[in-house]
Amino acid sequence: MSSSNVPSPKFTLSKKVVLEQYNKVREVVDIPAFSSKTNPRVTPIIEENTDGFLSVHTTNELKHIKDMSRVLFLAQGWTSEIVEDLYNKGIRCFAVDNEFDLDILLSTMEPTDWKITLLIRLKLKEHSLRTERYFVFGMTSDVINERVAQLKGDPHIEQLGVHFHRKTQNVNEWKIQQDIEDVLSEETLEAIDILNIGGGLPSEYANTNVDVIGSIFRRLKELREWLHEKDIQLMIEPGRFISAPAGKLIAYITGVYGNNIIVNASVYNSDMDAILVPVKLRVEGEVGNNAGEPYVIKGCTPCSMDLFRYRVYLREEPKIGDEIVFINAGAYNFTSNFCDLEEIPTEMID
């Protein structure tokens, strides 16, 4: 086969795996909410087959959802007109990042008889050197404690909660109870109904140690038990954990030279995670370094960052036309317009 007639790349997405992953989360939390930005094609599967919430960040994402009462809308830089539009669409659950947006929401509701669930975002510091990325979002604990005291008893708020997000692909910072006790007052913990701990449940990549997943789920159970003692429900917004294992990227080899493999897909139209996080997708059939030859897998553009894998060991000698299947590829597989690359289609397989 020549490089001119290899099949086009595609994603596959398994509904069965999506629901298996969702049910794992459902067993240890009270309110699961799938983060739609992770993979919007998973959103209808969650809505049609579970009782979970759908977490969205923009009005554009709402086109994937039929029942707006299932939406948790995370506000950022909105206006009274946007708030009214969202409420009129049927959305009743909001998470607010800052006091500016919170005051817009409160002033918009003030002359109405609205009833909503409101989560206000806490700025919760990481226990690592890289704290700056997420520590600029949310409100300080002093503000949270003050505003919760003000909001408790507000006739427009049926349920009041605190929300935070520590980081994506979080493998080591799940001692949440102590962190919360350190920053939220006893009065705040008595006043709130929901603690939303955001996303971060890790998935399995070539450069990630996910042997800790069992201990993470044990800590979630412990956290829920502690929250239940305070009559607080545990909410979580997993996206990567649910959608990543359900997806595969099937690409084809268009060139081989030395230890380099070129495939007919790019990280820019299939795996932006490789640049942003970065995580590296595993390759189906890859072997240990004692059982195969090392190869670099490059995308179809000449960009020096268009690398799927710096080193992957394969048992068989690769040839033009061979499939390269990247597994755990269902999360954050959004595309860009870099080099006018086309969006890769997704095929539902069950």
Q: What is the DSSP string of 161-187?
A: EEE----SS-SS---HHHHHHHHS-HH
- Looking at residues 197-217, what average pLDDT do you find? 87
- Looking at residues 161-190, what average pLDDT do you find? 91
Residue pointed to by tokens 């629901």: 19
Q: What structural domains does the chain harbor? A: 15-243 (3.20.20.10), 245-348 (2.40.37.10)
- Looking at residues 312-331, what average pLDDT do you find? 96
Q: Which residues contact 300 (CB under 8 A, 6 or more apart)?
A: 254, 262, 263, 264, 265, 266, 306, 341
- Among residues of the chain, what percentage have pLDDT more than 90? 86
Query: Is the pLDDT confidence value at 130 over 70?
Result: no
Q: Check residue 206 and give its pLDDT.
A: 85
Query: Is the pLDDT confidence value at 125 over 80?
Result: no
Closest CA to 8 of 343, 238, 350, 290: 343
Q: How many CB atoms lie within 10 A of CB 217?
A: 17
> Rounded to whole angstroms, how far apart are CA atoms 124 and 183?
8
E-strand ranges in 115-218 read 116-121, 157-163, 194-196
Query: Is the pLDDT confidence value at 209 over 80?
Result: no
Q: Check residue 133 and give its pLDDT.
A: 61
pLDDT band at 237 (very low <50, low <70, confident <90, very high): very high
Structure token pair of residue 139: 């409100």
- Looking at residues 10-23, what average pLDDT do you find? 98
Q: Check residue 154 and give its pLDDT.
A: 96
Model confidence pLDDT, tens digit, residues 269-288: 999 999 988 899 999 999 99
Query: Is the pLDDT confidence value at 343 over 90?
Result: yes
Q: Check residue 134 and give its pLDDT.
A: 60
Q: Check residue 132 and give its pLDDT.
A: 54
Task: Identify whether the C-beta of residue 168 lies closer than 8 Å to the C-beta of residue 240.
Answer: yes
Q: Provide the mean pLDDT of the chain.
A: 94
Q: How far is Cα of residue 311 from the mean position of the Cα atoms in its chain?
A: 27
Residue pointed to by tokens 């427009």: 156
Query: Is the pLDDT confidence value at 127 over 90?
Result: no
Query: Is the pLDDT confidence value at 167 over 90?
Result: no
Residue pointed to by tokens 């459902």: 26
Q: What is the pTM of this model?
A: 0.92
Model confidence pLDDT, tens digit, residues 44-96: 999 999 999 999 999 999 999 999 999 999 999 999 999 999 999 999 999 99
Query: Is the pLDDT confidence value at 4 over 80?
Result: no
Query: Is the pLDDT confidence value at 129 over 60?
Result: no
- Among residues of the chain, what percentage have pLDDT more than 70? 97
Q: Check residue 172 and give its pLDDT.
A: 80
Q: How far from 203 is each of 207, 208, 311, CA to CA, in Å? A: 11, 8, 20
Task: Identify whether the C-beta of residue 183 lies closer than 8 Å to the C-beta of residue 124.
Answer: yes
